[in-house]
Every structure is written in C-alpha cells, then in structure tokens.
C-alpha cells in the first residue's frame, strides 16, 4: 500500500517541526516563569506530549541547554561586553549593577542560573563561570580606581545578586518603581569617595 506510512523524509520533517515548536515554547515559558516551569506546560504550548520532549531533548537539562543561549546567555554576555566598553570606571560599575538587576527582574530564568538550580547543566554552569569572572574583573577595577568602597568585594556583589535572586524567585515581586529605587540605594551604599556623582 503505497503512501500508507510516512516516508523517512516526512518523519524527519515532522521531527524537526516538533523540535522547533518545543524550542519556541520552552523559550517563552523559561523567559516568563523560569527554568523550573513544569514540562507539561511547555509540551502543551508546543502542541506535543511531554514524552516528545524527552524523545527530542532527553528531558529538562537537554531542553535547557538547547535554548539557554536565547533565554539568558546572549543578553548577559551583551551586558558584559557593553560594560567593558564604558571608559569611566564609576559609570561602568553603575551600568553593570543596574543592568544585572534589571535582567534579574525581567528574566526569571536568569535567577535560576544565578542560583545554579540545575548544576548538571554544563552550559548553565559555564554561564555562571563567565559571570563570576566578570564580577571579579569589574569590582577589582572599580576598587582600584576608588569608585567603590575599598572593603566591597566581588564576593559581596555575588551575595547581593544571589539574595536578590532568592527574593524574586520565592518572595513577592515588588513594583518596578520600588525595585529601581532600591537599586539606587544599593549603588549609593557601595560607591567610594571618588565616585560621589556615581556617573549620574
């Protein structure tokens, strides 16, 4: 019976379409709700079964690694690159911390990365490594220039962003105006004497 069963090329096309639908649904779900969103929701949005996600991506970790570039990495790395391009050290640290807190507020998945929610994901852990190195680079330069209080360390910045990640993930989400106002308070608290204007 010719045509009774799909050809190999038809099966491959269906598989590719399913994979793209799953990727698109995962990007939307992860950006909106974070990396811990139930896979059933991703499957429903993609119009496939949860089993199809496992067949195509091997489960949550494989799915995260298939889309983490679009969900988190590209935007974070763009922040790092832009920060490095700012000549004034005080303005640089102001931009960096403000941009990181903005990313935390807008992208729940970024907080899951900061909290290392899925340490078995190599790509997720690589993003953490790159972010940690950027923190150390920017804090060291700002301290050396006097733009930051001399006792403020990269470890302090890491603790602040992780605490913020926990609050945003598990606490009540504050209004954006209040959130941005607290970012200014934070910046005022860590600036050094040579950065009285704070780049503002």
Rounded Cα distance between 122 and 124, Å, is: 5
Cβ-contact 198, 98 below 8 angstroms = no
At 131-190, the pLDDT tens digits run 999 999 999 999 999 999 999 999 999 999 999 999 999 999 999 999 999 999 999 999
Residues 6+ apart with CB under 8 A from 38: none
Q: Is 2 exposed, middle or buried (0-12, 13-18, 19+ CB in 10 A)?
A: exposed
Sequential DSSP letters for 186-200? HHHHHB-GGGTTTT-
Confidence of residue 199 (pLDDT cuts 50, 70, 90): very low
At 66-125, the pLDDT tens digits run 999 999 999 999 999 999 999 999 999 999 999 999 999 999 999 999 999 999 999 999
Q: Is 187 exposed, middle or buried (0-12, 13-18, 19+ CB in 10 A)?
A: buried
At 136-147, the pLDDT tens digits run 999 999 999 999
Cβ-contact 65, 93 below 8 angstroms = no
């Amino acid at each position: 019976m010719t045509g009774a069963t799909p050809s190999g090329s038809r099966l491959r096309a269906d598989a590719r379409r399913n994979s793209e639908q799953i990727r698109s649904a995962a990007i939307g779900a992860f950006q909106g709700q974070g990396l811990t969103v139930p896979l059933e929701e991703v499957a429903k949005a993609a119009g496939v079964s949860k089993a199809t996600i496992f067949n195509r991506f091997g489960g949550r970790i494989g799915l995260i690694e298939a889309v983490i570039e679009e969900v988190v990495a590209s935007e974070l790395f763009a922040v790092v690159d832009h920060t490095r391009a700012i000549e004034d050290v005080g303005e640089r640290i102001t931009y960096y911390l403000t941009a990181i807190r903005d990313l935390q507020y807008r992208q729940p998945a970024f907080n899951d990365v900061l909290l290392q929610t899925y340490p078995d994901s190599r790509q997720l852990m690589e993003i953490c490594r790159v972010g940690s190195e950027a923190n150390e680079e920017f804090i060291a330069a700002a301290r050396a220039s006097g733009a930051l209080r001399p006792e403020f360390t990269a470890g302090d910045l890491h603790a602040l962003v992780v605490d913020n990640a926990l609050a945003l993930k598990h606490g009540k989400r504050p209004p954006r105006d209040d959130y941005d106002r607290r970012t200014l308070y934070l910046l005022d608290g860590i600036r050094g004497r040579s950065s009285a204007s704070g780049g503002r």
